Structure 1
Amino acid sequence: MGSSGATDRARTSDTDLRAALHASGVVGVWEWDLLRHRVILDDGAAGLIAGDSRLAGRPLTIDEVTTCIHPDDQAWVADYIRNAGSAGGLFLCEYRVRPPGREDRWLLSRGRIERNEDGQPVLGHGILIDITESRADGQGYVATMEDPNAHPLERAADHCMAARQALAGSNSVLQTLIDVALYEIGRELARLEKAQRRRALN
């Protein structure tokens, strides 16, 4: 009885955290197997960038998971994905999507592409954050590759992504907490970028 109650409380806590996470702007999770040229999306990501939440959990091609990217962003996003897949490391890309029957949204895809012992990129994993409201406020991100002089916030995000990957498949509430941390790091990075732009204009 006690064990069942504890399990119910854990499930409720996990549900509440995921609801809060979604309300905060984290709308999807992706994993990219570069060796097999396949991407796995959760239902949120599948609905936004592939156009059908029923594709969640299925191995998809890059073409399939970029179906809903805005026509004006398609070409450069494809180039960025190709370059990121060759280089590995940090993945940070901002673009618009046009999901079926919904308004255009701005997404920030934040993740990391891991390399094997030979330095070959093999597995990418990350999250999607809806930054539409931030965009309306004049904030923004840019696509970027690995930076050896990265800000501490960038390094913190990389460590969070590594921790999330280590917990993959565990269905642990810790994954949700890590996603919350990643979202907060993303907000701090947005404020940092905005401050840097203001200084550049002065």
Structure 2
Amino acid sequence: MLDEGAAALLAGNAALAGQPLPLEAALARTHPDDREWVFKHIRRVRQTGGSFSAEFRILTETHEVRWVLNRGALTRDGTGAMQGRGAYIDTTDAHSNPFIPAAALGQDVEDPLIVAADCCIEAHTALGQGEHVDLQRLSETLLSGIGRRLAQRG
């Protein structure tokens, strides 16, 4: 499920926030040149669970190219269904040329903030499986701070 901002940016409709969506609807604005590899990557993680990281392009309603970094993790809930937690960050300003092929980007950068985001997502996911609501709120705050810092780069 997407929050309101992600639903507006990625699906093109903020009213879809909080609803279970098929991948095609949730990421309806994915750039045609990135769509195949992004969907393949997401589907693979949906089968196995684990962390997810991808930076890809989307097309806005005015056909502007924007870049989005998605960092998150998928785990099975008590019913066996996959549940995802993560963040979408608009990284457009970090790209001097919006037409760089996404496949040319390295996805495994050893950046300390990216490593911290991955660790925090794992901790947040683990805390969500227990009765540690106070600690889960703290991890949400940390994730939000890391996301803001990553978004400020450029």
**Unpaired segments ≥5 residues, structure 1:** 1-39, 145-149, 192-202
The residue aligned with 1:135 is: 95
The residue aligned with 1:175 is: 140
Equivalences, count: 142
- Give RMSD over aligned pairs: 3.8
The residue aligned with 1:30 is: none
Aligned-partner SS, 2:93: helix
Deviation per CA, 1:71-105: give whole Å up to 9, x if none.
11111111111122223222010111112236220
Provide the rounded CA distance (Å) in 2 between the counterparts of 1:162 and 1:80. 19
Correspondence 1:98 to 2:51: no
- TM-score of the pair, normalised by structure 2: 0.71
Runs of 4+ displaced beyond 6 Å: 137-140, 167-171
Q: Is the 8 A contact 1:47 1:99 kept in 2?
A: no
Larger Rg belongs to:
1
Correspondence 1:44 to 2:5: yes
Provide the rounded CA distance (Å) in 1 between the counterparts of 2:137 and 2:49. 27
Correspondence 1:114 to 2:75: yes
Q: Is the 8 A contact 2:74 2:84 kept in 1?
A: yes
Question: Using CA pairs below 8 Å that are at least 6 residues apart, which structure has the higher relative contact order?
Answer: 1
Q: Percent identity?
A: 33
Q: Is the 8 A contact 1:93 1:141 kept in 2?
A: no
Q: 2:32 aligns with which of 63, 67, 71?
A: 71
Q: Is the 8 A contact 2:69 2:91 kept in 1?
A: yes
- Cα distance 1:104–1:114, how it changes in 2: closer, same or farther (>3 A)? same
The residue aligned with 1:125 is: 85
Q: 1:159 aligns with which of 112, 119, 123?
A: 119
Q: Which residue type is aligned with residue 74 of structure 1?
A: R
